[in-house]
Amino acid sequence: MAASASSSPGDTGDGRPRVCLAVSACLLGEPVRYDGTDKRHGWLLEQLGQVAQLLPVCPEQQAGLGVPRERINLVQVALGQVRVVGQESGRDVTEPLEHFARGWLDSQPPWGLCGAVLKSRSPSCASGDARLFSSGGELLEHTWGLFARRLRQRWPWLPVVDEQQLSRPEACSGFLVRVFLLGRLFAAARGGPQGLARFHAREWLLLAALAPEQMGPLDETAARLGVLGDAEAVEPYRQQVLKIVCEEDQARRHLQAWWMWLENYVADEALQEEAMNLIEAALASAQAPWCAAAQVLEELQQRHFPQLARQSYARPWPPELRLPQPQDSSSRR
């Protein structure tokens, strides 16, 4: 589902919160690139667009640079000062791009966006692989595009990937976990302390798999929500979860989360050992930790632990959404 204005939190009609993502317009098939072409990405439109609101954005076109237009480069003109200039003319177009970025970010409602998929190598949208040149034309390093940098500065917790990262199971699954976790968090926060207390109970294992070392303080804040109904704990809890979202995926964190869960809910040491052997084998054989989550939880639930059915860990994104396959994960050249 594509949108054309600002992000607007809501639901899908079946009780699931609808997530909204900013997406480079060229990846959605819009002919807005410098040469009037697009980089249509089939999976974004045919899979992700069916379960999420996709908000097209093209900083260069929307800043008034036109289509077609001169190609632009990031140029370091002084230590720490980067400008955006025309590749042939040398015209400085930094200000219109900055003006657009500020206006676009200001137009988004609080807790609206849950993620972004941006065009790789773009001087505007790249999430780490845009080329930065010296004023003499020497390639200095690879960095973030101007718009992507401003997006990250405004919302450091926002999951951001490019279309190339979507083709890697580890990167794509980690991105989707965080996007839909944020959607559920923002929806739960609208229900006040009790809404977040229910969120914490459903998401405990998933949150622990992201940052097991942060669960102690988070559990304490969640207790204020559920037991005391403390409205003043809503924002601290949300900020703690946003901090967890920024953590990197690591298989060892999944193992640590499972140990924590088993120690809390399973007294039988033999069952603990059996469960951990199954979990370790699944994580070792999977393309990425989150790709093993459904298999692990389903087997444990069927064997000994029906209470796991209440956890979102095995279903962190909509079941109808499949990861990109080789034939649909790359954008058209």
Of the candidates 234, 143, 156, 155, the one whose C-alpha atom is nearest the C-alpha of residue 188 is 234
pLDDT in tens, 79-94: 889 999 999 999 999 9
Q: Are residues 22 and 153 in the same domain?
A: yes
- The domain in which residue 80 lies consists of 10-167
| Percent of the chain predicted with pLDDT > 70 | 93
Mean pLDDT of 5-32: 77
What is the spatial distance between Cα 77 and Cα 79, in angstroms, rounded to a whole number? 7
Number of neighbouring beta carbons within 10 Å of residue 108: 19
Lowest mean pLDDT segment, chosen from 9-18, 110-119, 149-158, 213-222:
9-18
Q: Where are the beta strands (DSSP E) in the chain?
A: 10-11, 17-24, 52-57, 72-78, 81-86, 113-118, 127-134, 139-144, 160-162
Band (pLDDT 50/70/90 cuts) for residue 10 is low
Q: Are residues 146 and 64 in the same domain?
A: yes
What is the spatial distance between Cα 168 and Cα 287, in angstroms, rounded to a whole number? 9
What is the spatial distance between Cα 85 and Cα 72, in angstroms, rounded to a whole number? 5
Q: Are residues 201 and 254 in the same domain?
A: yes
Contacts of 106 (CB under 8 A, 6+ apart): none
CA dihedral 102, 104, 109, 112 (to 10 degrees): -110
Q: Are residues 55 and 116 in the same domain?
A: yes
Q: Are residues 234 and 158 in the same domain?
A: no
Asked if the bond preceding 68 is cis, omega within 30° of 0, the reply is: yes
67: pLDDT strictly greater than 70: yes
Decide: 44 and 117 in contact? Cβ < 8 Å.
Answer: yes
The residue count for the chain: 333
In the predicted model, what is the mean pLDDT of the chain? 91
Mean pLDDT of 305-322: 89
| Domain end residue (candidates: 167, 196, 227) | 167
Of the candidates 4, 40, 34, the one whose C-alpha atom is nearest the C-alpha of residue 22 is 4
Mean pLDDT of 199-219: 97
Mean pLDDT of 284-304: 82
Per DSSP, the residues of 209-254 read HH-GGGHHHHHHHHHHHHTT--GGGHHHHHHHHHHHHTSPP-HHHH
Q: Read off the DSSP letter of residue 46.
A: I
205: pLDDT strictly greater than 80: yes
13: pLDDT strictly greater than 50: no
In a domain, 245, yes or no: yes
pLDDT in tens, 256-283: 999 999 998 888 999 899 899 989 998 8
Q: Are residues 124 and 191 in the same domain?
A: no
Structure-token match 């930790």, residue found = 289
Mean pLDDT of 159-176: 96
Mean pLDDT of 188-192: 95
pLDDT in tens, 113-145: 999 999 999 999 999 999 999 999 999 999 999
Tokens representing 105? 């970010």
Q: Report the domain count for the chain.
A: 2
In a domain, 70, yes or no: yes
Q: Are residues 161 and 58 in the same domain?
A: yes
pTM: 0.92
Q: Are residues 229 and 117 in the same domain?
A: no
Lowest mean pLDDT segment, chosen from 12-16, 158-162, 224-228, 328-332:
328-332
Number of neighbouring beta carbons within 10 Å of residue 63: 22
Number of neighbouring beta carbons within 10 Å of residue 293: 26
